[in-house]
């Protein structure tokens, strides 16, 4: 059992590896797969369910010990701020490259000519409206993006519907596809939709750092955020500052961990498309990728690992 001191800054010496479970499927499945692997290596493991907003402070205080999926577009700014303050450690990038952006099922292009160019949305926003408004509805999960600013700066006739979790978005998508109804949502790659549902990302004006800081940059001279999210972005790993000292082999495992797009997409697909229970999905993913997970271990750390 993990015990905590009364100090708001640090945790007592932990006896179990504490792993956060956030609100998207690939992170949960792969985190549990890593936890299962550590359990077979005689580590005590515990999980803590939390939002990404709560993760940063929890990891800085050692209440959780590592995070395997820091996505640049949604979390890069907060992540870098905490790293710069030396609140926790940047353990490097995965091979996987990502994009997070507005996305639609491919059949929508027949109804909204001009897509994926964002300007097409200026003429067909009503296709995405609900009964309560003439504005198009853009579906977003419980994550922090600059979509409200994007809508204002590009003059899009859209409103945001924020869902408590991504399961609710996929349910809406499933119903929309069944009825061939237009829908537009925040999606990302790698994700289960990559190989399961034909679709495309909207092409907004290309991202540039000045888009976020200088209103005069871009097509709207008066407002910031008149561009899309960064493309070909990174996914990183992060760790509590005390992890290397307390659990050196776990530290090495996460530092060496290297996920590909396919590995992340498959973890998501097991839950969101194949409808496998989370515990089973973690076992299936680990079984398929066991040799690779073992190879991430430092010499002498794990059975059947690096030698």
For residue 144, give the CATH number of its domain: 3.40.190.100
**Range of lowest pLDDT (42-46, 102-106, 131-135):** 131-135
Query: How many other C-beta atoms lie within 10 A of the C-beta of residue 6?
Result: 5
Q: Which residues share a beta bridge with 161?
A: 139
Which residue, among 70, 114, 60, has the nearest Cα to 94 in the 3D structure?
Answer: 70
User: Using CA atoms, how far apart are residues 276 and 280, in angstroms rounded to an integer?
Assistant: 6
Write down the mean pLDDT value for the chain.
93
* pLDDT reported for residue 183: 98
* Residue pLDDT, tens place only, 277-303: 999 999 999 999 999 999 999 999 998
User: Is residue 43 a contact partner of residue 36, using CB atoms and an 8 Å limit?
Assistant: no
Give per-residue pLDDT as tens, 255-269: 999 999 999 999 999
pLDDT of residue 32: 99
Same domain, yes or no, for 120 and 202?
A: yes
Which pLDDT score is estimated for 243? 97
d(CA 22, CA 28): 6
Q: 3-state class of 56 per DSSP?
A: helix
**pLDDT, mean of residues 2-20:** 62
Q: Which residues contact 222 (CB under 8 A, 6 or more apart)?
A: 215
Asked if residue 225 belongs to a domain, the reply is no
DSSP bridge pairs for 234: 97
Q: 200 lies in a domain?
A: yes
- Judge if 104 and 171 occupy the same domain: yes
The answer to whether residues 65 and 130 belong to one domain is no
Give the DSSP letter of residue 135. Answer: S
Q: Are residues 105 and 68 in the same domain?
A: no
Q: What is the pLDDT of residue 202?
A: 98
Q: Is residue 10 part of a domain?
A: no
Residues 70 and 102 in one domain: no
Q: pTM score, two decimals? A: 0.84
Task: Provide CB contacts within 8 A for 151, sequence distance 6+.
Answer: 138, 158, 159, 160
Residues 37, 136, single domain; the answer is no
In this prediction, residues 85-98 reach a mean pLDDT of 96
CA 66 – CA 156 distance, rounded (Å): 39
Looking at the predicted structure, is the pLDDT value of residue 74 above 90?
no
Answer yes or no: do 205 and 118 share one domain.
yes
48 found inside a domain: yes
In this structure, is residue 122 part of a structural domain? yes
Is pLDDT above 60 for 118?
A: yes
pLDDT at 3 over 80: no
- Give dist(CA 12, CA 298) in Å, integer: 26
Residue 85, SS3?
coil
CATH number at residue 27: 3.40.190.10
How confident is residue 94, by pLDDT bands cut at 50, 70 and 90?
A: very high
pLDDT of amino acid 4: 39
Q: In the prediction, which pLDDT does 305 show? A: 54
Q: What is the domain extent for residue 244?
A: 17-97+234-295
- Interhelix angle 261-272/25-40, rounded to 10 degrees, is 100
φ, ψ for residue 228 (rounded to 5)? -80, 180
pLDDT, one tens digit per residue, over 179-226 is 999 999 999 999 999 988 999 999 999 999 999 999 999 999 999 999
Distance CA 203, CA 223 (A): 19
pLDDT of residue 12: 57
- The predicted structure's pLDDT at residue 14: 75
Q: Which two tokens stand for residue 235?
A: 């996914």
The phi, psi pair for 69, rounded to 5°, reads -135, 85
End-to-end CA distance of the chain: 32
- Extract the tokens encoding 114: 């001009």
Question: What is d(CA 88, CA 61) in angstroms, rounded to the nearest whole number?
Answer: 9
In sequence order, which ranges of the chain are alpha helices (DSSP H)?
A: 25-40, 52-60, 72-84, 108-111, 121-124, 147-154, 166-178, 193-196, 243-246, 248-256, 261-272, 278-295
How does DSSP classify residue 120?
Answer: G
Instruction: Read off the tokens for 207.
Output: 């991202």
Domains: count for the chain: 2
Structure tokens at 184: 């537009």
pLDDT digits (tens, 9 = 90+) for 128-159: 999 888 899 999 988 878 999 999 999 999 99
């Amino acid at each position: 059992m993990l015990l905590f001191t009364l100090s708001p800054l640090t945790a007592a010496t932990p006896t179990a590896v504490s792993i956060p479970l956030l609100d998207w499927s690939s992170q949960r499945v792969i985190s549990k797969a890593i936890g299962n692997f550590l359990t077979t290596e005689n580590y005590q493991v515990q999980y803590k369910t939390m939002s990404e907003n709560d993760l940063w402070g929890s990891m800085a205080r050692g209440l959780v010990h590592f995070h395997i999926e820091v996505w640049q577009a949604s979390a890069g700014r907060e992540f870098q701020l905490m790293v710069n303050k030396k609140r926790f450690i940047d353990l490097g990038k995965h091979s996987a490259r990502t994009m997070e952006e507005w996305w639609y099922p491919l059949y929508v292009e027949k109804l909204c000519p001009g897509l994926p160019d964002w300007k097409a949305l200026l003429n067909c926003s009503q296709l995405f409206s609900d009964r309560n408004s003439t504005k198009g509805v853009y579906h977003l999960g419980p994550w922090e993006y600059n979509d409200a600013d994007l809508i204002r700066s590009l003059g899009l006739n859209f409103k945001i519907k924020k869902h408590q979790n991504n399961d609710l978005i996929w349910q809406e998508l499933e119903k929309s596809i069944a009825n061939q109804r237009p829908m537009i949502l925040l999606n990302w790659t790698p994700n289960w939709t990559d190989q399961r549902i034909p679709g495309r990302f909207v092409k907004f004006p290309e991202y540039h750092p000045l888009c976020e800081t200088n209103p005069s940059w871009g097509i709207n001279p008066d407002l910031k955020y008149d561009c899309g999210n960064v493309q070909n972005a990174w996914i990183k790993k992060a760790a509590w500052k005390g992890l290397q000292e307390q659990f050196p082999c776990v530290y090495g495992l996460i530092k060496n961990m290297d996920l590909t797009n396919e590995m992340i997409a498959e973890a998501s697909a097991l839950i969101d498309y194949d409808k496998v229970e989370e515990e089973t999905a973690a076992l299936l993913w680990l079984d398929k990728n066991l040799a690779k997970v073992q190879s991430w271990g430092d010499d002498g750390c794990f059975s059947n690992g690096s030698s």
